[in-house]
Every structure is written in structure tokens, then in C-alpha cells.
Amino acid sequence: MSSKNHLPTAAVLLALFSSTIAHEHHEHVSEDKLNAPIDSILWIHIFLQMIIWGVLFPVGMVLGLSKSRWHVPLQSTGIALTLGGYFLGHSHTGRAFPANAHGTMANVIFVPLFLQLALGIYLKLHINEETIRPWAVRLHSVVGKSYPIFGWIQMLFGAIAIGGYCRGDNLGQCLAHYIMGSGFIAYGTIMAILLLVGEAWIRRSQKSPEWWDSWVIMLWGIVNTFTEHHGGGWSHKDMQHTVMGVLWWAGGILGILLARNNQRTVVPSLIIIITGWAFSDHAQAMMISTRVHAIFGDVLMMAGVTRIIEISFITPKYAPLPDSASTDDNHSDHTLADAPTIGNTGLMQSVKAFRHLPPFLLVASGVLFMSATDEELRYVSEKLEMDHVTYILIMLSLAFLIYAIVVSCIRLWAVSGRNGGEAPPPDGEIELAPTNKWYSRVPDAEGEGEMHVIGDDD
């Protein structure tokens, strides 16, 4: 798409946006309006924006990372549809909502959208190649990668607005559940990327994945230690949450020390297991809340156990460490450079399949924790009269969908743009490079489609 085609599109979108921004939000809404049914226009708005921000923009971001020619058309379509969804969200009848974060974010979110559009147009002009353009490229990349984050936050705000949650005294619990739950989902997503296509990045960084994990856990623990108690007397929940913060920064420090010089360590996994145990045995006011928290804790513990198995027995064989590293470090049983080698057998396929367990279980635990606030569970129990089994099954179904989108985006990156050439590999096989394949055909009886061991020399 040429820059000439971008200019009238940008002018139209900016003009339309300036007219919609004047929409008024009412601070006070009558009880009848608050309890009115959701009309069809609002449902269209909800599903349209979910598709745009949950699927379309992440796919467009991936196509941008792979330098696909479909990146610009897809992102431009997403921006146009977002504006259409914005109109729908302000033209529905039926239920009305008091001023909320979702409405505010709906205006804020257009800043990165139009910044990305403006940067895209500028880059198409190919001017100031040696001065401004390199910085514009970096900013364009950063803004584009922020789309999934903005979209996730706005979808959460939308769900909160529909339910009327997180007001008054419930705000603190909402923040704790939604932030930590989103953190587990992000953790699982990043882990999936590292395990499936992140070998080259790990080689370049010369840091084991657990080194990064430990830093995040330590910093998160420090924040939790000083934010869980808000003055007054100490409740048992304040004590548990604060001590859990201490557990995280203490364990994070140990993990950082053990993961130095590219060492593998199971400390982050142990912290995940202990955290899961604490939540599974965490006293709750309602029975359904106790059950949901217990399943969340169990799933989180399973994520930690499977991660320990992956680190200890299914570690890929990464490139050797730099010559400057000591001999002892280079040949440690737990370094990235000296992992067990698996031959060209069906066992390699089992290894690849197992690698999906830790990240998926982290995503599932995040979804379960986000769905375990008192307001949500009270609504499910009292209004919907739903038992905990049905509710948990619904949340796990959502976790499967989220992880399916994650894996699809990873696969798309591997076969699109500069990674896939003019056309995808035959039979949908992902082949990143001759020495960096994570997926191969299942071998047939004649021995065709042999597996490629990651890190072996061709």
C-alpha cells in the first residue's frame, strides 16, 4: 500500500474521530438504565472489538515482525474497524453505564492507533533516511508491540463495565486478581515464545530463561511486600500476601544467583509451586470461592512441576557459551550449552508436545485467578445459580482459546514474510532455518520426515 493511499484514509479517520470524541458520558445513571438489557448494537460492539483487539491486531503485529506485505493492509483495516466499533459503543440504547475506565480508555487508545498510522505513513515516504527515520522505525516497532497490551486492558475494562465490578471497597481485590492473573497469562505467553521459537534470542542474550524469570519474581515480590497492607490492623490475608511477597523476592535473589553464567535452575518453578499451594489452601468467605481458588492453586502447581521436568529432562541443546566463560561453567550439567541430546526418533515429537504444558497451565491459572473475585463469584452463584464445576470448565475453555491464539500467532510468524518466503512450507511444516526448527513431520514407516534435533550441526 503506497503512502498516497494512506493520506486520504488518515484524514478521514482523524475527522471522524474528532466528531466522536465529543460524546458525553453521564456521571449519574438511573437504576432502570443500569439494569436495562444489553441491546443488539452493544453486543455487536463487544464482539467486533474482541475480534479486532484479540485477533486482528495481534495477527497484524506478528505480520509486522515477519515483514509481511499484509501487515499494512491488516493494521489499516483494524484501525478503521476500531473506529466503527467506537461509533457502535456510543450509539447503543438499552443499558447505560456510569463513567468508567473502559470509556476513558476508549479515548486514550486512539493515541497509539493514530501514532502508529502516522509513523507508518512517514516510513512509507522514505525521507530523512539517516536522521529521523531510524528513530521512527524504533518507535513504530514499540507502539505496534503495545497493541496486544492495550487491547487486553481495554477488554478487561469492558468486562468490568458490563458486570459493574471493581467499585468502592472492591477495587483493591479487583486490581490484585486482574493484575496477577494477567501476569500469569503474559508469563505463559512469553514462555511459549521462548520454548517454541526463541532459541536464537536465548543464544544471543547468553542468559538462561530462569535468570529473567528470577528478576521479574524478585521485583514483583518487592512490590507486593509493601503494597498488600494498607494500614490499620493486620488480617490473616494481609499477612499471607505480604509474606508471599517476601517469598518471591527472597527466592528471586536465589534464582538470580543460581542462574548466573547461563545456568539452569528450578527455583522459579519452586516459587510457582509454593504460590499455588498457598492459594489452594487460602481461606475464602464463600464455598464457590474456596473451590475456584483451590483449582487455581492446583493448576499453578502443575505449571511449576511441568516446568521443572522441562528444565531437568527436556532442555534443548543450545549453542556453546562464549570462550570467555570458564570451563566449569561451560560443561555444567545445567547450562544451556550442555543439555541432553535426543536422537532422531519419535521421542523428539513427544518432547515438543510436552513443551506446551508449562505455558498453557500458566495461562489457565491466570484465567482462573482473574475469574475468582468475590463480585464475580457472587454473581455466578446467586444470580446465575451456577456451580463451581461448570464455572471452572467455562474458564478453562477460555484458557484453551487464548492459548490457541498465542500458538497460532507464533506459527504465523514462523511461516510468514521473511521467515516463510513467497509461500508457506508444504503441509504446514514450520521451518525457521536449517539449524533452528521446532516442528517436523511425524516420521512414517519408511523413515521419511526425520526429526531435526535443535542445536545439532547439519
Is the per-residue pLDDT at 53 higher than 60? Answer: yes
Q: Which residue has the higher pLDDT, 329 or 79?
A: 79
Choice among 101-110, 159-168, 224-233 with the minimum mean pLDDT: 224-233
Q: Residue 231's pLDDT band (boundaries 50, 70, 90)?
A: low
pLDDT at 370 over 70: yes
- DSSP state letter for 66: T
Q: Domain limits at 3?
A: 1-164
Identify the burial level of 311 via C-beta atoms within 10 angstroms of its C-beta, where 0-12 means exposed, 13-18 middle and 19 or more buried. buried
Tell me the CA distances in angstroms from 256 to 213, 252, 260, 264, 402, one per residue in order: 8, 6, 6, 10, 30
Do residues 148 and 287 share a domain?
A: no
Q: Hunting for cell 455466578 — which residue is that?
A: 380
Instruction: Decide if pLDDT at 368 tops 50.
Output: yes
Place of cell 522505525: 137
What is the arithmetic mean of pLDDT over 406-412?
94
Confidence of residue 32 (pLDDT cuts 50, 70, 90): low
Mean pLDDT computed over 55-65: 93
Q: Please, how many CA atoms are within 13 Å of residue 148, restricted to the half-sphere of its CB?
A: 17
Q: What is the pLDDT of residue 23?
A: 42
Q: Looking at the structure, do residues 131 and 198 belong to the same domain, yes or no?
A: no
CA–chain centroid gap for 213, Å, is 15
Q: Are residues 159 and 250 in the same domain?
A: no
Contacts of 288 (CB under 8 A, 6+ apart): 377, 380, 381, 387, 388, 391
Average pLDDT for 274-292: 86
| pLDDT recorded at residue 215 | 93
Q: Are residues 10 and 37 in the same domain?
A: yes
When pLDDT is averaged across residues 4-8 and rounded to a whole number, the result is 44
Taking alpha carbons only, the member of 284, 286, 279 closest to residue 365 is 279
- What's the pLDDT score for residue 347? 62
Q: How many Cβ atoms sit within 10 Å of the Cβ of residue 457?
A: 5
Are both 191 and 325 inside the same structural domain?
yes
Same domain, 397 and 419: yes
pLDDT over threshold 50, residue 378: yes
- Does residue 178 share a domain with residue 121? no
Residue 365 scores a pLDDT above 60: yes
Q: How many domains in the chain?
A: 2
219 and 112, same domain (yes or no): no
Q: What is the pLDDT of residue 225?
A: 85
The pLDDT of residue 30 is: 65
Examine the pLDDT at 179 and tell me if it is beyond 60.
Answer: yes
Work out the pLDDT band at 315, boundaries 50, 70, 90: low
Indicate the residue among 136, 164, 192 that finishes a domain: 164
Q: Within this chain, do residues 150 and 229 fall inside the same structural domain, yes or no? A: no
For 194-203, write each residue's pLDDT tens digit: 888 887 788 7
Same domain, yes or no, for 325 and 361?
Answer: yes
Question: Domain ends where: 141, 164, 187?
Answer: 164
Domain final position from 142, 164, 186: 164
Q: What is the mean pLDDT of the chain?
A: 79
Residue 360 pLDDT grade (very low, low, confident, very high; cuts 50, 70, 90): very high
Task: Quote the percentage of the chain above a pLDDT of 90.
Answer: 40
Q: What is the pTM of this model?
A: 0.79
Same domain, 75 and 110: yes
Rounded mean pLDDT, 349-354: 75
Let me know whether 67 and 150 are in one domain. yes
pLDDT bracket for residue 452 (50, 70, 90): very low
pLDDT value for 252: 95
The reported pLDDT for the residue numbered 31 is 67
